[in-house]
C-alpha cells in the first residue's frame, strides 16, 4: 500500500521532469550578422512550382527564385529579363533572342531548349505531363521552335495582344531537374535563375531565401529575405511595431494612423490593379432599360464612398480602367452625382414608384466590401431603387456567380495582373462570358477587335472605344480603384507596385 | 473490467465513424472548393479539370466510401491547396500543437492546484477572494481578447516575449499562447480543486487523520488532496477537447504553426482532405484520451469498478 502511494507521487514527479526536460531542450535560434528583411503575409506559400499555384503570397516567393524572359517594372512597362530582345515576325510569331551564359542554381544551362520546354509544359504540349494551373493563359500557343541555342520562336494560333504579359509571368524552370520526378521536387525545392535560392522552409513558420552572390544581374543587397505567415491583422501590425517584421501588405485604412504614429515605420500607398464595380444583371427585365442603368450611376456618390468607407484611399474610375492600364481613356467622363436626375430617369423608364432590388456581395473578401454595399444600397434607396444587401460567405458567393444566379446587382472587385483593361473586359463585358450579364454588339465588336490587334496604338484605340461605349450604355455601376496600403520599416528602401508583387531585388537596408 | 473496456472501445469506434460522416457531409455542403482555390475569374473549363482531378465530380456516397477506404490505409488524400498528402501536412504541424497543449495543461495545473488548495484552506480570506476573482476573470475573458491584450502589453509595450511564430521551437514563443489558451482551463481547475478540497476537508476520515495526530501537511497532501484531485482527472479529458478547440483561435492569433491554424485555414479554403484529416485525428485523439482517463480513474480511485454483476 505504501509503495503504491510512492509510485503515484513518483509518476507525478516524472511528469514534471519530462515537462522540464522539454523546457530545457527547446533551444533558441539566434540571428546572424547578415542583412535580413522579413515580410509578413496573411498566408504561407503553397507550392513553389511557379505554374502550380495562383496566389499572390506564393508568387512573392517565386519571383525571387525564378526569372522570366520579360519582366514588368514598377510602372507596369514590359522590359527584357532573360530575353535579350524580342520581336514579332508576323501577327502570330514571336521571336526571342536569349541572354547567354546564364545558369540555374543547380548548374543547368539556360538556353532555347529550356524556353521551349517551359512553354510546351504550360501549353499542355508535353505528352503525359500534369496539367498546370495556368494552362488557360497559354492554350493560344501552337508551337515552340528552337532556331539556334539562343533563339526561339513561339507560334500562336491567333494574335494575342496580352501574350507578352503572360510571358512576363512565366518563370523559367530547368529541364533535367524537373524531368527526373515530373516536377514533384520543384514544389518544395525550387531551382531557378533568380536572385535568391531557398535556404530553408519550416512550414507554417518561416521561409528563408538566401541571396545568390553570382546572380547575373548583380548580387542582391539583402542577404536574406524571410517570409512569415501571420494570419491576424493586429498581430502583423504588432510585429511590425517591434521591428521583427519589415513589410506588411493589406494594411487597413483604420490602421494607418497607428502605424504612422511609430517613428521607425512608414505607410506606403500604390494604386492597385483591382477595380471595384457594381455588376448590373441586365438579363433581368427591370434592368434592361438603359435609363435604369444610368440612374444607378447617377445615384451613387462615388467620391463620398471613397472618402467615408476607404478614408480617401482610392481613385474614382470612369468605367473599368484604372489610370495606369493600357486602354485607359484620357478623355474619360464621369457620371455626375445627381439623385434628382436618377429619379427622373427611373420614372421615364417606367418605374415612377421605384423598384425593389438586391445587391449580392461576399463578406470580407475585399476591403470593407459589406460597408461599401450598405452605403451604395442607401444611396440607391434614396432615389427609389430600394436595395437590400445580401452579404454571403465567399464560397457561397462564388457558387452563385458561377451558376449565374445573381440578383439585380452584385458588388465585386476585379483583379487584373496585366495592366491592360482587355483582360477585365474580356471576362466581364464581352457577352457570353461567365461573368457577363449584358450584351452590346458594339462593345463586343470593339473587344474582339482589340483582342485580335497586336499593334499597340490600334489596340489601345479599340479598348478606349469599348470603354466609351460602355459608359454610354452602362452595364455596371462604375466605382473605384483602391490603393494598396503597406506598412514598412523605414530602415528598408523599397517601393510597392500596383500588381501586389513584393520584390526585394533592388531594395536595400539603410 | 476488461469487458467494459472492450465495450467502451467499440463505442469509441462508432463515435469516430459517426464523426467522419458528419465532417464529410458538412465540409461538402458548404461550397465548391474549386471556387475558393482558383481566382474568381478562372474559366469553367479549368474548373472542371480540377474538379475531376480531386474526384469532386463523383456522387457524395462514392466520395465518402472512397475516403474511408483510403483513410484506413493512412491515405487521407491530397490537400487541395497544397497538393501534398494531407496526413503529412497535419503530422508536420501536430507536434507544435501537442507541445502547446501539454504546456498549457501542465501550466494550468501548476498554478491552479496551489490556488485551489490555499483558497480552500483559507476560505473567505483575502487570498480566497483574490484567487476566485482571478479565476472568475480567467473563465469569462474571451481568449482572442486576452491574446491581443497580451500581445499589446507584454509583446509590444514591454517587449518581454516574442509576439508570434514558432521561433524554431524556442520556449518563449509558447508562453503567451499557453496563457491565452489556458486561462479558462486554469480557472476551472482552480475552482474545482477548491470546491472538492472543501468537500473532502469536511469528511470524517480527514477529522480522523487529524485526531490521529498527523501533521497538517500530511493531512492535506495525503488524505485530502489525493481525494480532492479525482474530479480534476475527470475534467482533464474534457479539457483536452476544449483546448483543441481553443487552439484554433490561439494559434491563429499568435501565428503558431499548429493544426488549429491549419484547420481554420483549410476551412477558409474548403480544403476538404485536410479538414477531414484534422478532425479525424483530433477526434481519435480525444476519444483515446478519454478512454485512457477511464482506465486511470480505476487506478487512482479503487472505489470505482466498471464491472458490475447484473
Backbone angles phi, psi at A478, to 5 degrees: -80, 130
CB contacts, 8 Å: A396 with chain B: 30-31
In contact, A463 and A42? CB cutoff 8 Å: no
Instruction: Return the residue of A nearest to B163 by Cα.
Output: A239
- Look at B99 and A22 and tell me if their CB atoms are within 8 Å: yes
Per-residue pLDDT, averaged over A194-208, amounts to 93
Cβ-nearest to A26 among B31, B156, B169 = B169
Q: Closest approach of chain A CAs to the CA of B99, in angstroms?
A: 9
Q: pLDDT higher for A271 or B41? A: A271
Q: What is the pLDDT of residues A390-405, one digit of tens each?
A: 998 887 787 788 788 8
Q: Closest approach of chain A CAs to the CA of B43, in angstroms?
A: 8
How do strand A151-156 and strand A93-98 relate by DSSP bridges?
A: antiparallel
* Separation CA B244–CA B250 (nearest Å): 10
Helices A456-472 and A421-428, axial angle in degrees (round to 10): 50
pLDDT at A29: 40
b (16+ CB within 10 A) / e for A403-428: eeebbbbbbbbbbbbbbbbbbbbbbb
Q: What is the pTM of this model?
A: 0.85
Q: pLDDT higher for B213 or A441? A: A441
- In the structure grid, which three cell numbers stand for residue A418, read together? 496585366
* Separation CA B98–CA A292 (nearest Å): 60
Backbone angles phi, psi at A506, to 5 degrees: 100, -20
Torsion of CA A226, B261, B163, A487, to 10 degrees: 60
Tell me how many residue pairs between chain A and chain B have CB atoms under 8 A apart.
142
Helices B230-254 and B259-268, axial angle in degrees (round to 10): 60
Angle at Cα A182 formed by Cα A178 and Cα A187, nearest 5°? 70
pLDDT at A160: 92
List Cβ neighbours of B219 (8 Å cut-off, separation of 6 or more): B206, B209, B210
CB contacts, 8 Å: B170 with chain A: 26-29
Selected for mutation to probe chain A from B26, B29, B35 (highest A CB count within 10 Å) is B35
pLDDT at A508: 95
pLDDT at A4: 47
Percent pLDDT > 70 in chain A is 94
In contact, B246 and B181? CB cutoff 8 Å: yes
Q: How confident is the model at residue A30 (pLDDT cuts 50, 70, 90)?
A: very low
Per-residue pLDDT, averaged over A311-335, amounts to 95
- Look at B31 and A396 and tell me if their CB atoms are within 8 Å: yes
Kindly report the number of other CB atoms within 10 A of residue A120's CB atom. Answer: 17
pLDDT at A19: 55
CB contacts, 8 Å: B45 with chain A: 136
Selected for mutation to probe chain A from B52, B83, B176 (highest A CB count within 10 Å) is B83
- In the structure grid, which three cell numbers stand for residue A214, read together? 553570382
Per-residue pLDDT, averaged over A52-72, amounts to 92
pLDDT at A50: 94
Cβ-nearest to A52 among B35, B83, B96 = B83
Burial class (CB in 10 A: 0-12, 13-18, 19+), A360: buried
**Beta-bridge partners for A503:** none
Cβ-nearest to B165 among A133, A228, A402 = A228
* Separation CA A383–CA A343 (nearest Å): 5
Mean pLDDT of chain A: 91
Mean pLDDT of chain B: 85
Please state the length of chain B.
310
- In the structure grid, which three cell numbers stand for residue A453, read together? 490587334
pLDDT at A20: 52
Please choose, from the candidates A492, A485, A497, the residue with its C-alpha nearest in 3D space to the C-alpha of residue A507.
Answer: A492
Q: What is the pLDDT of residues B7-62, one digit of tens each?
A: 888 888 898 888 888 878 876 776 666 766 665 556 677 778 777 777 778 888 88
Instruction: Return the residue of A nearest to B221 by Cα.
Output: A9
pLDDT at B302: 72
* Separation CA A326–CA A324 (nearest Å): 7
Q: Is the pLDDT of residue B310 over 70?
A: no
Please choose, from the candidates A357, A379, A389, A390, the residue with its C-alpha nearest in 3D space to the C-alpha of residue A286.
Answer: A357
DSSP 8-state assignment for residue B43: -
Segment among A338-352, B45-59, B197-211 with least mean pLDDT: B45-59
Kindly report the number of other CB atoms within 10 A of residue B181's CB atom. Answer: 34
- Look at A28 and B36 and tell me if their CB atoms are within 8 Å: no
CB contacts, 8 Å: B104 with chain A: none
In contact, B53 and A132? CB cutoff 8 Å: no
In contact, A356 and A388? CB cutoff 8 Å: yes
Selected for mutation to probe chain A from B26, B36, B41 (highest A CB count within 10 Å) is B41
* Separation CA A307–CA A304 (nearest Å): 5
pLDDT at B38: 63
Q: pLDDT higher for A316 or B85? A: A316
Q: pLDDT higher for A443 or B17? A: A443
Q: Closest approach of chain A CAs to the CA of B158, in angstroms?
A: 10
Give the DSSP H or E segment for A97.
Answer: strand A93-98
Q: Is the pLDDT of residue B249 over 50?
A: yes
List Cβ neighbours of B140 (8 Å cut-off, separation of 6 or more): none
Q: What is the pLDDT of residues A402-422, one digit of tens each?
A: 788 899 999 999 988 899 999
Q: What is the pLDDT of residues A98-119, one digit of tens each?
A: 999 999 999 999 999 999 999 9
For chain A, domains (ranges, CATH) are 36-43+191-270+485-509 (3.40.190.10), 67-183 (3.90.76.10), 273-482 (3.10.105.10)
Segment among A24-38, B19-33, B110-124, B182-196 with least mean pLDDT: A24-38
Percent pLDDT > 90 in chain A is 79
- Look at A131 and B81 and tell me if their CB atoms are within 8 Å: no
- Look at B82 and A27 and tell me if their CB atoms are within 8 Å: no
Q: Is the pLDDT of residue B79 over 90?
A: no
Q: How confident is the model at residue B230 (pLDDT cuts 50, 70, 90)?
A: confident
Q: What is the pLDDT of residues A9-22, one digit of tens each?
A: 556 556 655 655 55
Per-residue pLDDT, averaged over A441-454, amounts to 94
- Look at B42 and A394 and tell me if their CB atoms are within 8 Å: no
Backbone angles phi, psi at B85, to 5 degrees: -55, 130
Amino acid at each position: 500500500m505504501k509503495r503504491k502511494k510512492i509510485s503515484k507521487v513518483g509518476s507525478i514527479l516524472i511528469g514534471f521532469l519530462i515537462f522540464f526536460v522539454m523546457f530545457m531542450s527547446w533551444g533558441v535560434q539566434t540571428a546572424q550578422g547578415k542583412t535580413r528583411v522579413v515580410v509578413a503575409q496573411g498566408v504561407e506559400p503553397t507550392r513553389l512550382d511557379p505554374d502550380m499555384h495562383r496566389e499572390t503570397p506564393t508568387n512573392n516567393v517565386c519571383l525571387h527564385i525564378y526569372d522570366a524572359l520579360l519582366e514588368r517594372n514598377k510602372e507596369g512597362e514590359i522590359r527584357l529579363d532573360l530575353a535579350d530582345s524580342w520581336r514579332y515576325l508576323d501577327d502570330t510569331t514571336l521571336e526571342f533572342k536569349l541572354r547567354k551564359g546564364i545558369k540555374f542554381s543547380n548548374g543547368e544551362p539556360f538556353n532555347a531548349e529550356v524556353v521551349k520546354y517551359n512553354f510546351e509544359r504550360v501549353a499542355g504540349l508535353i505528352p503525359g505531363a500534369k496539367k498546370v494551373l495556368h494552362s488557360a493563359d497559354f492554350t493560344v500557343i501552337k508551337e515552340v521552335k528552337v532556331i539556334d541555342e539562343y533563339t526561339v520562336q513561339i507560334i500562336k494560333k491567333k494574335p494575342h495582344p496580352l501574350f507578352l504579359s503572360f510571358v512576363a509571368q512565366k518563370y523559367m524552370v530547368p529541364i533535367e531537374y524537373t524531368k527526373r520526378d515530373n516536377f514533384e521536387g520543384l514544389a518544395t525545392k525550387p531551382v531557378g535563375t533568380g536572385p535568391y535560392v531557398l535556404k530553408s522552409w519550416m512550414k507554417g513558420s518561416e521561409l528563408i531565401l538566401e541571396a545568390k552572390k553570382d546572380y547575373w544581374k548583380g548580387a542582391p543587397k539583402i542577404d536574406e529575405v524571410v517570409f512569415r505567415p501571420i494570419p491576424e491583422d493586429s498581430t502583423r501590425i504588432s510585429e511590425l511595431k517591434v521591428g521583427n517584421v519589415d513589410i506588411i501588405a493589406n494594411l487597413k485604412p483604420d490602421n494607418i494612423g497607428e502605424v504612422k504614429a511609430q517613428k521607425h515605420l512608414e505607410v506606403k500607398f500604390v494604386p492597385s490593379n483591382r477595380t471595384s464595380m457594381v455588376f448590373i444583371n441586365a438579363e433581368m427585365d427591370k434592368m434592361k432599360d438603359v435609363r435604369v442603368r444610368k440612374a444607378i450611376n447617377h445615384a451613387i456618390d462615388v467620391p463620398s464612398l471613397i472618402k467615408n468607407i476607404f478614408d480617401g484611399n482610392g481613385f474614382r474610375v470612369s468605367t473599368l480602367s484604372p489610370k495606369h492600364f493600357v486602354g485607359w481613356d484620357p478623355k474619360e467622363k464621369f457620371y455626375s452625382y445627381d439623385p434628382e436626375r436618377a429619379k427622373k430617369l427611373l420614372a421615364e423608364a417606367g418605374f415612377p414608384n421605384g423598384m425593389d432590388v438586391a445587391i449580392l456581395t461576399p463578406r470580407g473578401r475585399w476591403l470593407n466590401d459589406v460597408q461599401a454595399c450598405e452605403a451604395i444600397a442607401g444611396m440607391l434607396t434614396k432615389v427609389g431603387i430600394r436595395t437590400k444587401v445580401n452579404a454571403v460567405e465567399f464560397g457561397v458567393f462564388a457558387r452563385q456567380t458561377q451558376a449565374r444566379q445573381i440578383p439585380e446587382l452584385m458588388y465585386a472587385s476585379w483583379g487584373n495582373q496585366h495592366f491592360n483593361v482587355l483582360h477585365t473586359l474580356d471576362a466581364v463585358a464581352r457577352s457570353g462570358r461567365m461573368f457577363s450579364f449584358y450584351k452590346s454588339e458594339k462593345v463586343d465588336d470593339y473587344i474582339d477587335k482589340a483582342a485580335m490587334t497586336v499593334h499597340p496604338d490600334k489596340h489601345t484605340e479599340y479598348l478606349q472605344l469599348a470603354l466609351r461605349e460602355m459608359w454610354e450604355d452602362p452595364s455596371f455601376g462604375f466605382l473605384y480603384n483602391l490603393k494598396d496600403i503597406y506598412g514598412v520599416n523605414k530602415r528598408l528602401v523599397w517601393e510597392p507596385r500596383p500588381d501586389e508583387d513584393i520584390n526585394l531585388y533592388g531594395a536595400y537596408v539603410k | 473490467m476488461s469487458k467494459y473496456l472492450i465495450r467502451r472501445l467499440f463505442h469509441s469506434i462508432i463515435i469516430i465513424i459517426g464523426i467522419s460522416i458528419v465532417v464529410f457531409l458538412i465540409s461538402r455542403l458548404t461550397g465548391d472548393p474549386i471556387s475558393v482555390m482558383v481566382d474568381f475569374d478562372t474559366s469553367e473549363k479549368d474548373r472542371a479539370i480540377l474538379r475531376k482531378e480531386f474526384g469532386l465530380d463523383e456522387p457524395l456516397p462514392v466520395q465518402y466510401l472512397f475516403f474511408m477506404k483510403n483513410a484506413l490505409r493512412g491515405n487521407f488524400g491530397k490537400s487541395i491547396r497544397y497538393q501534398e498528402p494531407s496526413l503529412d501536412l497535419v503530422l508536420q504541424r501536430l507536434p507544435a500543437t501537442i507541445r502547446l497543449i501539454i504546456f498549457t495543461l501542465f501550466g494550468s495545473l501548476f498554478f491552479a492546484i496551489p490556488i485551489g488548495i490555499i483558497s480552500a484552506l483559507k476560505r473567505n480570506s483575502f487570498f480566497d477572494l483574490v484567487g476566485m476573482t482571478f479565476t472568475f476573470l480567467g473563465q469569462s475573458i474571451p481568449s482572442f481578447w486576452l491574446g491581443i491584450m497580451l500581445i499589446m502589453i507584454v509583446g509590444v509595450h514591454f517587449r518581454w516575449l516574442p509576439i508570434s511564430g514558432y521561433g524554431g521551437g524556442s520556449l518563449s514563443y509558447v508562453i503567451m499562447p499557453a496563457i491565452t489558451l489556458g486561462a479558462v482551463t486554469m480557472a476551472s481547475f482552480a475552482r474545482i480543486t477548491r470546491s472538492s478540497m472543501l468537500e473532502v476537508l469536511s469528511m470524517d476520515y480527514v477529522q480522523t487523520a487529524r485526531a490521529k495526530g498527523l501533521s497538517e501537511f500530511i493531512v492535506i497532501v495525503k488524505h485530502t488532496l489525493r481525494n480532492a484531485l479525482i474530479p480534476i482527472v475527470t475534467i482533464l479529458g474534457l479539457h483536452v477537447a476544449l483546448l483543441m478547440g481553443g487552439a484554433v483561435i490561439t494559434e491563429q492569433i499568435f501565428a503558431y504553426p499548429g493544426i488549429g491554424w491549419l484547420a481554420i485555414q483549410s476551412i477558409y479554403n474548403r480544403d476538404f482532405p485536410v479538414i477531414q484529416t484534422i478532425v479525424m485525428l483530433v477526434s481519435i485523439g480525444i476519444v483515446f484520451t478519454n478512454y485512457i482517463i477511464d482506465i486511470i480513474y480505476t487506478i487512482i480511485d479503487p472505489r470505482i469498478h466498471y464491472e458490475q454483476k447484473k
